[in-house]
Amino acid sequence: MIAIFRNGFTLIELMVAVAIVGILSAIAYPSYQQYVLKTHRAEASKLLLTAANIQERQLADHGRYTDNVALLGVAPDGITASGRYQLQVLLSDASSYTLEATAQGPQRADNDCLVFTLEHTGQRNRSMPSSLFCWD
């Protein structure tokens, strides 16, 4: 018997392989993007918890909370170093506050968790209880 060996791949075999890779990447890439956005949510919760700790120090040292975001560890415009969140401080009086982290830039694609809030009582996302899963 004569064995016939052929070297290489046919064009059809290459096109099938390219099509399979294209389908797999079309499925995997959006999932990967959502995963990346979800991992950046930790930045918002860390930002708010750190700012709340500094607010409590402000209350202990000066007898009132501050609305100066620069004192809370972020740039004067409230934008974090990564540019993904902006911090705002809402003071209702000298003894209560609400911290709000709003998604900016590429993080705005995370439609489920665009805004994080933290009150002086420790209440998270009071106005949006359905989005408490964002803190997980």
Q: Give the span between the Cα atoms of 131 and 60, in whole angstroms.
A: 31
Domain count, the chain: 1
- Could you tell me if residue 111 is inside a domain? yes
Whether residue 126 is predicted with pLDDT greater than 90 in this model: the reply is no
The residue whose two tokens read 């004192």 is 71
Domain that holds residue 83: 11-135
DSSP 67-127: --GGGGTS-TT-B-TTSSEEEEEEEEETTEEEEEEEE-GGGGG-TT-SEEEEETT--BSTT
pLDDT tens per residue, range 92-114: 877 899 999 999 999 999 888 89
Mean pLDDT for all residues in the chain: 87
Question: Does 17 reside within a domain?
Answer: yes
